[in-house]
Amino acid sequence: MKKAILTSFLILLCMTAAIPAQAEEKPVKEEVIYSIMVDRYNNGDQTIDSQVDLEDPTAYQGGDIQGIINKLDEIKANGFTTITLSPIMANAKGGFHGYWIEDFFKVDEQFGTLDDLKKLVSEAHDRNIKVVLEFVTNYIAKTNPIADDPTKADWTKPTTVRDTRWLDDTVTLNQADPEVREMLFKASSFWLEKGNVDGFKLHAIDQSSPAFLTDLVNHIKSVKPDAYILGDVLNNNQLDKEYLDLGIPLIEQTALQQSIVNVLTNVGTPVSNIYETWEKSGKREGLVYVDNAYTDRFTRKVVEGHLNPETTWKLALAYLYTTPGTPMIFQGTEIPMDGDTTEEILKMVQFNQGNDKIKDFLEKISAIRTQFPVLSYGDFSLVDSNGAMSVFKRTYQDKTMFIAFNNDTETKSVSVKDVPEGMQLSGLLGDNIVRKDDNGEYKLALDRETVEIYTVEENKGLNWLFIGMVVGIFAIFVIAIVILSNKQRKRERKSL
């Protein structure tokens, strides 16, 4: 009960802190990112729906910048501190996804105007939320004037990407050409300065040369030194080390995503398998996620495994929010949305079908991550495993936390030894308190498919003050009942 009250207080504290005029400056590792595909999020301005066709899932569906503005309070309430937007540059007809760019310096008319973007950024900053744009630097639409301009033949090159969603109808830019580079650098400056966005998620960095990316990152930093720079990866192959040293601090971890999904949607699979995948990556930190616009919805994998979506989503979210890296959550997770086809994955977010328990968990886990920097910066190690249950340890400065996941088919326990004398482990999710047993160990026991996050705090034994308050309240209640009963009996006697 006390831990539940404490967690509620943490959530309230995060939501009611003084709101600055600009988004609070914090390291990118502390962010919690909400990924939005603009056209498929929320329709806030129906006057700009000229290309909207609700009967055609490959056409615009009406999501726009105003629709995002209208949902900023909900985004904040769910604990998100940064939003990433799919490309909003002017696109060829039907380019709802944003990858068929015709003009790098204009907002697509189906999404709004530059003034709408400025308003979004301002409103987001008022709520301490940063705004990051996805920036496509490799591709343009076949209808882009550049593609047919004979004087710019050197601006493009043969496309090597095939059978990739939305990119078959594009032309590849030659990023080695000085004029192309100059155009892309100017475009990045335009959105940073005119739109006041907080940074970029660079699309398909694995399709760009490290030399170009290095120059682009340096240019972005010269315009806005504190700009956030994220990296999207098109292919699932492990990136070469040179891509990891380009000054792009957060790059999608595709191998880790696949491991998290495979483990948590198959009950009985050891959680330690995810840790081993992370070790094989060189213990790299980056963007950690379970689904996005290119993958099946995580919920679909859960349903296929005949699992409870609420239970499994809690396991997944807890792992994303407590493992090294920055969690990135795809729009609709709070519902949670389902699907394994493009049409289903990219449906408009169904806000009227939300799952309050998952929303509550998002708020709680985000408040815990915000309150304890150890979950953003701490060393990460595997303490021990028992079957499909594993306990992990995070340490930072003088703070230690343990995170226990039981993905087994039955209740499991793991014992922890390296806890300082006179301390206890207190759970933040389930109000569990674990004290040292006769063997000098702390036995962490969890029901199947559950998770707990433990803080290390002073062992105060039984809280007699708290117990006394409860007993006192109960005693007062009993006395009141006795008094009322006696009065009732007296009234009954008088009436006879």
| Residue range 193-249, pLDDT digits in tens | 999 999 999 999 999 999 999 999 999 999 999 999 999 998 877 788 899 999 999
Could you report the per-residue pLDDT of 448-464, keeping only the tens digit for each?
999 999 999 998 765 54
2-376 against 380-458: fold identical: no
- Rounded to whole angstroms, the Cα distance separating 469 from 472 reads 5
Q: Which CATH superfamily includes the segment(s) 380-458?
A: Golgi alpha-mannosidase II (2.60.40.1180)
2-376 fold = TIM Barrel (3.20.20)
**Per residue, what are the HEC states of the chain?**
CHHHHHHHHHHHHHHHCCCCCCCCCCCHHHCCEEEECHHHCCCCCHHHCCCECCCCCCCECCCCHHHHHHCHHHHHHCCCCEEEECCCEEECCCCCCCCCEEEEEEECCCCCCHHHHHHHHHHHHHCCCEEEEEECCCEEECCCHHHHCHHHHHHEECCCCCCCCCCCCEEEECCCCHHHHHHHHHHHHHHHHCCCCCEEEECCHHHCCHHHHHHHHHHHHHHCCCCEEEECCCCCCCCCHHHHCCCCCEEECHHHHHHHHHHHCCCCCCCHHHHHHHHHCCCCCCEECCCCCCCCCHHHHHHHCCCCHHHHHHHHHHHHHHCCCEEEEECCCCCCCCCCCHHHHCCCCCHHHCCHHHHHHHHHHHHHHHHCCHHHHCEEEEEEEECCEEEEEEEECCEEEEEEEECCCCCEEEEECCCCCCEEEEECCCCCEECCCCCCCEEEEECCCEEEEEEEEECCCCCHHHHHHHHHHHHHHHHHHHHHHHHHHHHHHHHC
Query: What pLDDT shows up at residue 236?
Result: 74
Could you report the per-residue pLDDT of 67-126, keeping only the tens digit for each?
999 999 999 999 999 999 999 999 999 999 999 999 999 999 999 999 999 999 999 999
Query: What pLDDT shows up at residue 24?
Result: 58
Confidence of residue 465 (pLDDT cuts 50, 70, 90): low
CA angle 187/191/194 to nearest 5° reads 120
Query: What pLDDT shows up at residue 15?
Result: 43
What are the boundaries of each domain within the chain? 2-376, 380-458
Residue 158, pLDDT above cutoff 70: yes
Residue partners of 214: CB distance under 8 A and separation at least 6: 246, 247
Lowest mean pLDDT among 163-172, 297-306, 420-429: 163-172
Could you tell me the pTM of the whole model?
Answer: 0.88
